[in-house]
Amino acid sequence: MAVAAYRQRGLFARPSATSGWKSWFTTVDHKKIGIMYGVTAFFFFIIGGLEAIAVRLQLAQPNGDVLSNDLYNQFFTMHGLTMIFMVVMPMGVALMNYFIPLMIGARDVAFPRLNAFSYWVFLLGGIFIYSSFFLGGAPDGGWFGYAPLSRTLPSHGMDFYAIGLQILGIASLAGAINFVVTIINMRAPGMTLLRMPVFIWMSLVTSFLLVFAMPVLSIALFQLMFDRLFEANFFNPAAGGDPLLWQHLFWVFGHPEVYILILPAMGIVSEIIPVFSRKPLFGYAAIVFAGAAIGFMGWGVWAHHMFAVGLGPIANSAFALSTMFIAVPTGVKIFNWLGTMWGGSLRFTTPMLFAIGFVSMFVIGGLSGVSHSIVPHDAQQTDTYYIVAHFHYVLFGGALFGVMAGIYYWWPKIFGHMLSEGLGKLNFWLWFIGFNLTFAPMHILGLQGMPRRIASYPDGMGWNMWNFVETIGAFVIAVSVLVFLANVAISRRKKVEAGDDPWDARTLEWSIPSPTPEYNFARVPMVHARDDFWHKKYIDTPDGEPSRVFAGGANGHDEHEDHGVHLPSPSYFPLAAAFGLPVLSYGTIYHSVVGMIAGALILVLGLFAWALEPQFAEGEGGH
């Protein structure tokens, strides 16, 4: 086999450092990239939370004057955009990035530089969108950008929306393709699809949803952008444009998007509940098929976001039925999680509390969701706070609880030390109480007729008390987040060593040292069963009690050996190419041909240089 001779090319020598602060800019290591995603997403979570606090302060009392109408519109729009695209999605991606290779026995993802590119594009896209606050105003047309309002709003805010989401979409699409290939093609020998952990299955379905849904949003955004910047008429009613086209395109993306938001969290709790019940997941195959079913069926329900626009009784009935049906696979999962806990030896650790919180809060959100599927019911509920209650129960009560569970569960593997259980439990209870205090009353307010997306409400509607309570709740959530940050800081200092497998868990990532070595696995594991690591640790004895095998399954404690593992080399080009996108975007918004050409050149040249650069730098590729 020919050994290709790789020259060092260009003005800059290829970076080679894999430690030190500079190495983070050029890393292609999925673990570092996962950490960057997580830190960035958490930072945006704080910002999105502050936006929510501002909204709640404005709405705490009738005729609020904390925020002007214009600022309110920007804050609630950015709260939605931030939480969906810059918090929940990247948090899921952070955990997927770190743990997919570890759980399938791989040493990285399929395309390490593409992985880095996805992260930098996400970061730069988020900064791009936020820069709008300083450039005339942030997006103010709602995260859903309904036309024709979104095409006429005068500040550049919705231009930042249309283009910024395209940038984030590129990051998501690239990441999704990366994970699809990784999961399909890089599983350790013996890990058949039906031996994969459920988190991997859910990540695969999520990635397919991203692959097929993001392009539809992209077209909608191109059309909005052209309407705004180049006088097109896609959504101009005076010219025969149809606002419903926007809604269809947006929700054809938007509905699969909500499954993209929730499936990773469902995967996370499917890992956590068995560990802390000391029982295998009940009905693995049913959960897997239910997840895939949700992925498929999620494409058939989008117009339930449009029940009040006049689609007519046939369309409304069809989508009502499909929406009712999609509750079924989710119900299957709920019962399987309960079945896992039933009869198990339960340990109520912080991750387990968050996981159980996920199951219960998500059920509540699902119940209100099913009530929306009844069209006449929805005619009253739509555009009220009842809907706001629903989606916060499934997105906060669901996705965010699940993400917190994952963070507490996997923290020891990433950093090598435990998070404090005491502070963790305080974090959980404040989070749980604050969340319910904030969002439960919204069901009531909605049914009492309080509309959503309003900057203030008049006195005398009977809405004052619950609004005030909700604002208190928001502050309780804020305190809970502070407790979490305190937990992170204090635990870092105390450094209670975790060991490889502090939870006595079931999956492959716990078979390697904590924190994770750079090469992940000293030796590629051979997988013989589902929960292979568990079966290497425990063998079943005749009386049914599992018997511990000493040091069974441990992988990688002879650190003095190099193991001959060659990892893909660091690279500047993902970051360099990523810079082209915001430059191109600013150029487009401000009609600067120079800017557009510069941005396009940076992107194209960066991509070229990347394509010509070998994955392994000279000297790294062989013995």
Partner 1 sequence: MAQTPVHGDDMATAPQAAEELHHHPGPRQYVWVAIVLAIITAAEVVIYYIPGLESVLVPFLLAFSAVKFVLVVMWFMHLKFDSHLFRRLFVTGFILAMIVFSIVLATFFLGPEAPGLTG
Partner 2 sequence: MATKEAFADVGHDYTSTGLNHTKVAMWSFLGSDCLFFGAMISTYLLYRTRTLSGPTPHEIYDIPFTSVSSFVLLMSSLTMVLALAAIQRGDHRGLRIWLFATAFLGTTFIGGQIYEFTTFVEEGLKLSTSPFGSAFFMLTGLHGAHVTVGILMLLSLAGLSFSGKLNQEDSLKVEMIGLYWHFVDIVWIIIFTVVYLIPTE
Contact positions vs partner 2 (CB under 8 A): 2, 110-111, 173, 177-178, 180-181, 184-191, 211-216, 218-220, 222-223, 226-227, 230-234, 236, 239-242, 245, 249, 252, 523-526, 528, 536, 553, 555, 566, 604, 608, 611
Return the number of the residue (492 or 523) whose C-beta is nearest partner 2: 523
Return the number of the residue (252 or 268) whose C-beta is nearest partner 2: 252
For residue 173, the partner it binds in partner 2, partner 1, none, with Cβ less than 5 to 8 A by kind, is partner 2
* Of 259, 271, 274, the residue nearest 200 (C-alpha): 271
When asked if residue 1 is in the footprint of partner 1 (CB under 8 A), the reply is yes
Considering the complex, what minimum distance in angstroms separates the CB of residue 611 from partner 2?
Answer: 8
Would you tell me how many other CB atoms lie within 10 Å of the CB of residue 348? 12
CB proximity list for 233: less than 8 A, separation 6 or greater: 227, 239, 240, 241
Alpha-carbon separation of residue 329 from 34, 274, 292, 395 (angstroms): 30, 19, 9, 18
Alpha-carbon separation of residue 44 from 475, 495, 500 (angstroms): 17, 27, 31
Rounded Cα–Cα distance for residues 13 and 22 (Å): 14
Return the number of the residue (140 or 227) whose C-beta is nearest partner 2: 227
> From the list 229, 244, 554, 598, which residue makes contact with partner 1 (rule: CB under 8 A)?
244
Q: Give the interface size with partner 1 as a residue count (CB under 8 A).
A: 30
> From the list 46, 47, 66, 211, which residue makes contact with partner 1 (rule: CB under 8 A)?
211
CA-atom Rg of the chain in angstroms: 25
Instruction: Tell which positions 564-623 bind partner 1, by CB under 8 A.
Output: 564, 566, 614-616, 620-623
For residue 3, the partner it binds in partner 1, partner 2, none, with Cβ less than 5 to 8 A by kind, is partner 1
Are 240 and 323 a contacting pair, CB within 8 Å? Answer: no
Amino acid letter, residue 480: S
Considering the complex, what minimum distance in angstroms separates the CB of residue 299 from partner 1?
Answer: 6
When asked if residue 25 is in the footprint of partner 1 (CB under 8 A), the reply is no
Considering the complex, what minimum distance in angstroms separates the CB of residue 29 from partner 2?
Answer: 18
Beta bridge partners of 538: 548
Alpha-carbon separation of residue 111 from 117, 122, 366, 463, 573 (angstroms): 10, 17, 36, 53, 13
- Burial zone of 559 (CB within 10 Å; 0-12 exposed, 13-18 middle, 19+ buried): exposed
Considering the complex, what minimum distance in angstroms separates the CB of residue 437 from partner 2?
Answer: 41
Beta bridge partners of 547: 539
Please count the CA atoms within 13 angstroms of the CA of 171 that sit on its side-chain side: 31
Considering the complex, what minimum distance in angstroms separates the CB of residue 94 from partner 2?
Answer: 21
Q: In this structure, what token pair is assigned to residue 112?
A: 């390490």
Considering the complex, what minimum distance in angstroms separates the CB of residue 524 from partner 1?
Answer: 12
Return the number of the residue (269 or 617) whose C-beta is nearest partner 1: 617
Considering the complex, what minimum distance in angstroms separates the CB of residue 371 from partner 1?
Answer: 24
Considering the complex, what minimum distance in angstroms separates the CB of residue 324 from partner 1?
Answer: 17
When asked if residue 485 is in the footprint of partner 1 (CB under 8 A), the reply is no
Which span sits near partner 1 by CB under 8 A: 1-9, 375-383, 512-520, 569-577? 1-9
Rounded Cα–Cα distance for residues 495 and 498 (Å): 8
Return the number of the residue (240 or 542) whose C-beta is nearest partner 2: 240
Rounded Cα–Cα distance for residues 455 and 203 (Å): 37
- In the DSSP assignment, the letter for residue 547 is E
Instruction: Tell which positions 275-304 bind partner 1, by CB under 8 A.
Output: 299, 303
For residue 311, the partner it binds in partner 1, partner 2, none, with Cβ less than 5 to 8 A by kind, is partner 1
Which span sits near partner 1 by CB under 8 A: 35-43, 48-56, 311-319, 524-532? 311-319
Return the number of the residue (180 or 341) whose C-beta is nearest partner 2: 180
Element (H, E) at 217: helix 198-230
Task: Identify the residue whose tokens are 């568990």.
Answer: 534
Q: Sketch the per residue contact string, 385 through 404, with partner 1: x for CB under 8 A, - otherwise.
A: --------------------
Q: In this structure, what token pair is assigned to residue 184?
A: 């399909």
> From the list 162, 252, 263, 455, which residue makes contact with partner 1 (rule: CB under 8 A)?
252
Rounded Cα–Cα distance for residues 265 and 258 (Å): 12
- Orientation angle between helical segments 421-447 and 350-372, nearest 10 degrees: 10
Q: In this structure, what token pair is assigned to residue 414?
A: 């990433």
Element (H, E) at 538: strand 538-540
For residue 230, the partner it binds in partner 2, partner 1, none, with Cβ less than 5 to 8 A by kind, is partner 2
CB proximity list for 397: less than 8 A, separation 6 or greater: 357, 358, 361, 362, 364, 365, 435, 439
Considering the complex, what minimum distance in angstroms separates the CB of residue 230 from partner 1?
Answer: 21
Q: Which residues bind partner 1 (CB under 8 A)?
A: 1-4, 184, 208, 211-212, 240, 242, 244, 248-249, 252, 299, 303, 310-313, 315, 564, 566, 614-616, 620-623
